[in-house]
Amino acid sequence: MLVRKLGTVSVLAHNLDDGLDPGRGDFLAQAEPYRRELLAHCYRMTGSLHDAEDLVQETFLRAWKSYDRFEGKSSVRTWLHRIATNTSLTALEGRQRRPLPTGLGAPSSNPTDDLVERAEVPWLEPLPDSLYDDPADPSVIVGSRESVRLAFVAALQHLSPRQRAVLVLRDVLQWRAAEVADAIDTSVAAVNSLLQRARAQLEAVGPSQDDELSPPESDEAREKLAHYISAFEDYDIDRLVKMFTAEAIWEMPPFDGWYQGGPVIGALIHQNCPAEKAGDMRLLPLTANGQPAAAMYMRLPETGGRHVPFQLHVLDMRADGVSHVVAFLDTSLFAKFGLPEVL
């Protein structure tokens, strides 16, 4: 067995005498350029970085096995996305959607109430920009950001898997209806019907098109993120509260509550944050889902005073302040972002 590594994916070639089968010998060269966008595609479909990585691996394996039968009637890119779409649809059969706390349908929470952890819920996960951005092509970066932002991916979770697939293929990848119908083995009329229902559902639950987020590389976003980090590290919650917009939302899966308004968010942090003084928290700036983000490390007595992974914050930054923070408590994500185990 020969194992070929493609970043996070492995293509397994069985019973090969001299390296790759001549009929499939150029597969890796043909497929590798699309690995990043396939990961983003599978992430949109599933809302999970872990699942997306597995699905890209399965996509490459299926594509490699059938590469000798690839007739070139479509581009390699289209062919790979078709395989990735159907691999995702198969994987999603019988699975729960991946929400954020705001997507559970409950009203905003009281910051003085006990936190309720819902470990059984398969929560939405963030996506490191480094895994899907193509630094050599800025136009790809800008074009892909809108379709991986947390609010958009969370809204996609309200759609059925087939609605999700049709909407992503038509509105994100800009495929023609006939191409989508061929990809998922249905009729053009069915594709149009699925797309109409998906768009209506997305409009009901999705983010407003008028919302203007600051690009994470902009001077404005970097300055605001630096102030956000400084307020936490100084344990100056009052200063932090002033950074939030009037209707700002804070949520932190796997806890099922969500909180609205700067004063409420400040009260929540005062009530539940294990930090006690300046220096207990350290944050590293990064980007996720095309948004400013920060990795929070906490100094705890049980860790010998070391700063260890605690939360990953993904922020909506606007001209008037921070309007949304999702603070992910799944510390296994730190490795996916290439972050150290200890500061």
How confident is the model over 159-206, as pLDDT tens digits?
Answer: 999 999 999 999 999 999 999 999 999 999 999 999 999 999 998 887
Same topology between domain 1-95 and domain 219-336 = no
In this prediction, residues 83-104 reach a mean pLDDT of: 95
pLDDT at 3 over 50: no
Give whole-number Cα distances, 217 to 188, 287, 290, in Å.
40, 9, 10
- With cut-offs at 50, 70 and 90, classify the pLDDT of residue 16: very low
Indicate the residue type of 282.
R
> Contact, 168 vs 41, CB < 8 A?
yes
State which of 15-19, 65-69, 247-251 shows the largest mean pLDDT: 247-251
Q: For the ranges 3-17, 38-52, 123-137, 167-181, which has the lowest average pLDDT?
A: 3-17
Q: Which residues contact 314 (CB under 8 A, 6 or more apart)?
A: 126, 150, 288, 289, 291, 292, 293, 325, 326, 328
Is beta strand 2-6 parallel, antiparallel or unpaired with respect to 258-260?
A: unpaired
- pLDDT value at residue 78: 93
What number of helices (H) and strands (E) belong to the chain? 14, 8
140-174 CB burial, b ≥16 within 10 A, e <16: bbeebbebbbbbbbbbbbbbebbbbbbbbbbebbe
pTM for the whole thing?
0.89
Locate the domains of the chain by residue range: 1-95, 219-336
Class of the CATH domain delimited by 1-95: mainly alpha
> Contact, 168 vs 152, CB < 8 A?
no
pLDDT at 214 over 60: yes
- pLDDT value at residue 113: 95
Architecture of domain 219-336: Roll (3.10)
> Contact, 297 vs 286, CB < 8 A?
no
